[in-house]
Structure formats: C-alpha cells, structure tokens
Amino acid sequence: MTGARLDAEVRDLLHRALHGYRDNPRVTELLRHQLARYDQPLRVAVVGGWRSGKSTLLNALMGEEVAPVDGSAFTWYEDGPQPDATGYSTSHPPQRLAVLRSGTGMRVDLTGWRAGELRDIVVRWPARSLRQVTLLDTPAIGAADEQAADPVLARVRREADALLYLTRDARGADLRILGATREGVVGQAAPVHTIMVLSRVDESGGGRVDALLGARQLARRALRDPHVDALCVAVVPCSGLLGLAGRVLGETEFAALAALARVPRAELEPYLLSAERFARGEPPAGLDAATRGALLERLGVVGIRLATTLVRTGCDNRVALATELVRRSGLGELRESLNRLFVDRRHVLKARSALTAVEALLRDEPGPATGDLLAVLEQLLAGAHEFAESRLLAALRDGRLGFDAELAAEARRLVGGDGDEPAARLGIAPDATLAWLWETAAEARWRWREHAEDPGLALLQRRGAQVVARSCEGLLADLAAAHAR
C-alpha cells in the first residue's frame, strides 16, 4: 500500500464514520476535526516528568529561546510569519498575548492571568524547523502509579501524532507510562510512535568530556531490552541545555568562558563544585555576579565545567565552542532521528492518529454503524503495508529475525529505515535518474522474492522478506506513476 493509498483508505473510513454518526453532532464534530488534522503539520509532543528538561529541549530543537510560559498549559509552537501568541481558557474567549522580544528569542507576557487559568497557549514563531512539525510542550506527567487516569497523558494520546518521551534512565515507571500509549487494536497494530530521549546527559556524565559517549552506550543497552524496543522506535541521548547553549551562544558569554578557562584548573575547580559556590564565592577571573548568573542560566555548573575544558583543549572561538557544544549535546542525532523516523513517515503517523480516534469513538459511542465501521478498520489495519514495514523495522532493530548484518541493513533501508524517499530506500544518489531508480528497485524485488521463497530460511525470515519484496513492488508502482506523469 503506497502512502497515497493509505491516506485515501483512512479518509474514506473517516467519511464513512461521518455518515454513520450523522445524527450525533458531538461525534461528527470530532470526526471533522480529525479530517482537518490530516492536512496539518505533524504534531510532536514533548513529554516527561517534572524537571525532565522538556521546555529546554524544545527550544534547542527550534534553535530559538522561547521562554516557558505556563507549566500547567499545553503550549503549541507553530510556524508563522511573525512572533505571535494566543491564550485559550475555559472561561474566556481566546485572547492575544503580548510577545516580548529578546536577543535570542521571545517571552510571552502572562500578566493578568492566574496560574493554571490558561488551558492552551498557541505560539507562532517564524522557524524553518516548524514548517513540517508542530511542537507541543506538555505539563509534567503525574506519578507512575497514577498513569491510567493521568489527564495529561490522556490528552497527549488524543492530540499528538508522535512523542518525544524524556527520561533519565528508561526504567519500569517509564515503560508503564509508554505502555498506556499503545492500548487498543490500533495501538498494537500501528507503528510505534515514540522516540525515548535520555535527557540531561550532561548531568549524568558529571561534566566529563566523554559524557555523551557513555550516554550512547546506555541508549544502545536500553534498546536491546525487548520491553523498551516494543515501545520506542529509537532511544537517543540528548542534553537540551547544552544543545540550546550551543545554538544561541553569544560573544559575551564566550568571552566570559574564555576568561574562566585561563584560570589555572586547580584554582578554578573549587568554584565549580556547585552552582551556589560559583554564584556566591569570590569572583574567579574577575567575573561579576550578573555574568556568573547568566552563565549558570545558560549552561549550568556542569556545562560551565565542560565548556571551559573545551576552550582549553582547542575551541578558542565562539563558533568552534558552539559547534562542539551542539555536537556533544546529542542534538544533531535527535534532530536526525526526528526527521527520519517521524517527518519522513508523517503520513503513516497521521493515519495512526486518525485510526486511533475512530477506534475510540467506536468504543465509547456504539451505534448502528459501529459493527461495519469496526470491520473496515480491522481490514485496513491488516492491509496497511506501511504498518507491516514498521513492525519489520522493530524486528530488525532487536535482531530477532536472525538476518546476517548485511541482509538486515538492506532490509532496513528498503522498508524506509534510512528515509522514505525512493533514493534513500534504494541506497543510491538522491539525483538518480528515474531509469536508474527503476532498475535498482527491480533488482531488489527479484532478490527479496528469492529470499521469501528460500526453504533454507526460517519462517519469520521468509515473512520478513515478503514485506521487503512488497516494499520494492510499491516503489516500482510509485516510479511507474511518476513516469506516467
């Protein structure tokens, strides 16, 4: 099933549901909302517990410093021609909020609003990163033993197409939370829609220059856990604080860090044992209290320790230090994963959201049309090849199919694990001609059909090969359609 066909099938189901529930105004409003959502940018929610670093990571992804606005509201960040914000509450009509500009971003002025009074805040910001994705900053989720009734998690499940779930250690409580996002027929059959982010890795690494390396090892171990693998499409370590610092680092901040780096290490270290010592002790390198406070806000004491080490070891200008902070933060890997696993496969995730909504309506609002609609839903799930590709990608990641490394890598690429464009799937140059794409896809289809019929392979391997062969057939169909145009 090509992306266009999956879209058509899901839209047809939504229209059938609209007809079946035409006498139920509440349900028809919800279904029209789902149809409208289908054509909107992908919604990615940043989810995590208290002080998990959600807002900081979100700012790092945007490359702009948009100050947190209200910890109890859902804050939506959308692309727009100019900075703008609107507040929504249950007791007042929507109101435009004042936006205060700063040198590195903006702040939304909530003067006159009580804490918790706003339900949603929509921030429009001219950022290239928001053209295909709407980012959603959520309130902190509750305690692990309350997740079944957690209103934040329940709303995230309704509103978001994909999740960035922030955690420090990927332990049992996190898995129970994520398990709740995969309930229902669609949740089990549709692709996993979560990237787990091991956040604040700068702190867990104690400020060492190899902190990210250790966090990457932890991420690989986490993904080898079958319980984690079943719930996340990837595990990525990332420090939002370091990533944001690298993206907005100014010359004044670099000059202060360079001054600290010139202080002998033995003399500087006592000041970097805690944030309080750095802020209130004797000013090292002659930095006044305001400058030290600004550095703490930008980098934290662990980030200051890392940045001064980097300056001493060769990052002797602002651009070099900023680049190295971003690299060591893991932000590049996270952005790549978000683009490859979410943005490139957004039509699949949009379909998942729509089908989840339809399933919930059929469960909560049974009616005369429910039986027929449920049958269509189950048939669509069984025939959606994109969903089969996603299940195969999960099996390839944990190695349970038993393909050798070369075969597994080719299978992963052909089913979209390295990108959804034809050239990315076929592993050839992006500017390849249509004839070259066709020839490469035809050869791949022939090879994988042979694998699918090879009696020497295990049953699971042959079934996996069938999925890959069908992906090749879908590529050929898309290329034929492109040639016809």
- The helix-helix angle for 318-329 and 289-312 (nearest 10°) equals 80
Is the pLDDT at 225 greater than 80? The verdict is no
Is the pLDDT at 5 greater than 90? The verdict is no
Comparing 67 with 244, which gets the higher pLDDT? 244
Confidence of residue 149 (pLDDT cuts 50, 70, 90): low
Mean of the pLDDT values across residues 354-360?
Answer: 93
As a 3-state breakdown, the chain gives helix, strand, coil percent values, each rounded to 5, of 60, 15, 25
From 92, 93, 58, 95, select the one nearest 78 (Cα to Cα). Answer: 58
Rounded (10°) CA dihedral 328, 331, 334, 340: -110
From 266, 264, 261, select the one nearest 320 (Cα to Cα). Answer: 261
pLDDT in tens, 439-483: 999 999 999 999 999 999 999 899 999 999 999 999 999 898 887
Mean of the pLDDT values across residues 214-228?
Answer: 76
Structure tokens at 249: 């680092």
**pLDDT recorded at residue 292:** 92
Is the pLDDT at 144 greater than 60? The verdict is no
Gap between the terminal Cα atoms of the chain:
20
How far apart, in whole angstroms, are the C-alpha atoms of residue 265 and residue 285?
A: 12
Comparing 23 with 201, which gets the higher pLDDT? 23
Comparing 41 with 68, which gets the higher pLDDT? 41
Mean of the pLDDT values across residues 185-212?
Answer: 73
From 57, 235, 232, 212, select the one nearest 129 (Cα to Cα). Answer: 57
How far apart, in whole angstroms, are the C-alpha atoms of residue 231 and residue 457?
A: 28
Query: Pairing state of beta strands 133-137 and 74-79?
Result: antiparallel
Confidence of residue 293 (pLDDT cuts 50, 70, 90): very high
Output the CA–CA distances (angstroms, integers) from residue 484 to 441, 442, 479, in the order listed.
17, 17, 9
**pLDDT recorded at residue 42:** 95
Total-model pTM: 0.84
Q: What percent of the chain has pLDDT over 90?
A: 46
Confidence of residue 332 (pLDDT cuts 50, 70, 90): very high
From 236, 463, 451, select the one nearest 338 (Cα to Cα). Answer: 236
pLDDT in tens, 417-433: 887 789 999 999 989 99
Is the pLDDT at 145 greater than 70? The verdict is no
